[in-house]
Amino acid sequence: MTRAFFIKTAALVAAVVASANAELKTVTLKHPSGSSAEPIDFHALLHNYLWVDDARNKGVQVKGLKGVEYFDKVSKTNKTETRELIDFSAQTDNVYRNAPDLVSAIIKGVNAIDRTVTVRKGGSISGGAGAKVETGGKSGIPRDSKSSKRVSTKTDLVLWNPWAERAVAMKDFGDEEYKNMVAVEPGRVSEKQVLPNGQTYTLQQTISVRAK
């Protein structure tokens, strides 16, 4: 499924491809040549809710973020992840900066049928001939491109579960739904992505499921 949207001078295209054991979601934002001399900047996030049989009591554990710096939006503090396996026992809203491209959620299943859900992410910018490609937004290094070129950009990862008290306060979220979900969301959140004129930004995630 593909959908296109137009935001001021930029064109946004969202595409989803699903198979039996995997889903690929891609969002592309193009800043057309000649539309404006000024770069545009923005945040981006691919929302996903992974189904969990019961998030409580280590019913889901996220692996692959140890050593990554993150911002805890609940306590409003900067931290470094020390856990090999991250479980959920309270409201969680963490933004992991420039996280690894591969993260796994180990989910305990009903009747002992466990599964591993893998989220693979990536962000990139491509530009036309002679364009400057900015990597990493304001902190990135400009590169001259003699031909059309795709350059990887920083991408973050958000771990989110509202837990019981926050779930009750949300109008668009069921009171008990926190038990059956965890969000493992790729995006450009900790800082804005800069997109110069004539270039295209792509944010992508692939979610795959494997029974243990």
Q: In this predicted structure, what is the pLDDT of residue 148?
A: 59
pTM of the model: 0.83
Length of the chain: 212
- 206 residue type, one letter: T
183-210 pLDDT per residue, tens: 999 999 999 999 988 899 999 999 999 9
Residues 136-147, mean pLDDT to the nearest whole number: 40
Q: Tell me how far apart the alpha carbons of residues 168 and 178 are, in angstroms, rounded to a whole number.
A: 10
166-179 pLDDT per residue, tens: 999 999 999 999 99
Q: Tell me how far apart the alpha carbons of residues 35 and 23 are, in angstroms, rounded to a whole number.
A: 33
Nearest partner of 46 among 201, 210, 197, 209, judged by Cα: 201
The string over 177-193, giving b where at least 16 C-beta atoms fall within 10 Å of a residue's C-beta and e elsewhere, is ebbbbbbbbbbbbbbeb
Nearest partner of 206 among 79, 69, 16, 56, judged by Cα: 16
Percent residues over pLDDT 90 in the chain? 63
pLDDT over threshold 50, residue 6: no
**Which sign does the torsion angle of CA 193, 159, 13, 153 carry?**
positive
Nearest partner of 181 among 206, 201, 196, 159, judged by Cα: 159
To which residue do tokens 């933004």 refer?
95
9 — pLDDT class (breaks 50, 70, 90): low
Nearest partner of 155 among 95, 197, 113, judged by Cα: 95
Q: In this predicted structure, what is the pLDDT of residue 8?
A: 56
Q: In this predicted structure, what is the pLDDT of residue 106?
A: 97
pLDDT over threshold 80, residue 123: yes
Radius of gyration over every alpha carbon of the chain, rounded to an integer in angstroms? 19
pLDDT over threshold 90, residue 66: yes
Q: Tell me how far apart the alpha carbons of residues 173 and 91 are, in angstroms, rounded to a whole number.
A: 14
73-121 pLDDT per residue, tens: 999 999 999 999 999 999 999 999 999 999 999 999 877 789 999 999 9
**Domains with residue ranges and CATH for the chain:** 2-211 (2.70.98.10)
State which H helix or E strand residue 43 sits in.
strand 40-45
